[in-house]
Amino acid sequence: MRGAKWLVAVSFAVAAGAGSASAQDTPSPVPTATHPAVGSYVGKAIQVCPKGVAPSACLKGQPAVALFMTPTLSPDGAFLGNDSFALGGPPFGPHTTAHGHWIATSPTDFEADYVFLLNAFPPQGDGAVQVLRFRWQGTVQDADTLVGYVNMYFSKPVTPDWANLLPNEFPAIPGVVQPILVPPTRFIKDPTFCLTSDCPLVFKFTVKRVAP
How far is 29 from 108, CA to CA, in rounded Å? Answer: 12
Q: Is 2 helix (H, G, I), strand (E, B) or coil?
A: helix
| Dist CA 127 CA 33 (whole Å) | 39
- Enumerate residues 6+ apart whose C-beta is below 8 A from 79: 71, 72, 73, 98, 99, 100, 101, 102, 112, 113, 114
pLDDT digits (tens, 9 = 90+) for 74-93: 999 999 999 999 999 998 99
pLDDT tens for residues 135-154? 999 999 999 999 999 999 99
For the cut 60, the answer to whether the pLDDT of residue 59 exceeds it is yes
Residues 165-207 have pLDDT tens digits of 999 999 999 999 988 888 899 999 999 999 788 889 999 999 9
The values of phi and psi at residue 64, to 5°, are -65, 150
Q: In the chain, what are the domains?
A: 2-159+169-210 (2.40.128)
